[in-house]
Amino acid sequence: ARMGRTVVELFYDVISPYSWLGFEVLCRYQHVWNIDLRFRPAFLGGIMQQTGNKPPAMLPKRAEYLLKDIKRMAKYYEVPVKVSGDDFKRIFSTSSLAAMRFITAIDMTKPEHLETLSREFWIRFWSQHEDISQPENILTVARQAGLSSELSQKALEMISSPTVKDRLKQTTDEAMKYGAFGMPAVVAHYNGEPHLFFGSDRLELLGSVIGE
């Protein structure tokens, strides 16, 4: 580890396209900035419910803007998010709970797969417009990410265990303690205090705060 690295936590959910954008940018910058990037898989549904937040796309004008915004950001950051008006309905009708528990199980057993696995979930849901909520979809994603079938099977069994459920809930609660009300929530620990940045469009500000 380099001297005095700033710990940056990324709280994310694979159902969130902005989380994917933030994730990719931070993955690139962890090699440029003096940061120790930590992936914190959490559950967006839980955060929305407990903070009383509403999905932004529920407001028609905002949904219209989001479509353009996500397309522009995807192009700018070269992340293959493909978004259309129907995607908002798709988000509302998909639960990411099983996927996020699966990612949590991998985080607890083989964290070295976390980055690749999370990316594959986003690719499947946001590039290929495929389902990620059913066990067979989850196993397909794990295979794409290069996980052995043995490991995937074990992680799939773990998603109904109290340890995994508690860990995901704990991480989600932690994000809210830092003030999160949506995703991605990026928390930089600098000068002895946590700094929360919401969304994927505040990363230059994050750099400025931590002296990068």
What is the number of other CB atoms lying within 10 angstroms of the CB of residue 160? 10
* From 16, 96, 118, 152, the catalytic residue: 16
DSSP-derived 3-state class of residue 10: strand
In whole angstroms, what is the distance from residue 165 CA to residue 97 CA? 10
What whole-number distance in Å separates Cα of residue 169 and Cα of residue 97? 11
Sheet holding 185-190, edge to edge: 35-41, 6-12, 185-190, 193-198
What is the bridge-based pairing of β-strands 35-41 and 193-198? unpaired
For 35-56, the DSSP string reads EEEEEEE--HHHHHHHHT---G
Q: Which strand (E) or helix (H) includes residue 187?
A: strand 185-190
CA distance 42 to 169: 7
Active site residue 16: yes
User: Hey, which residues are catalytic here?
Assistant: 16
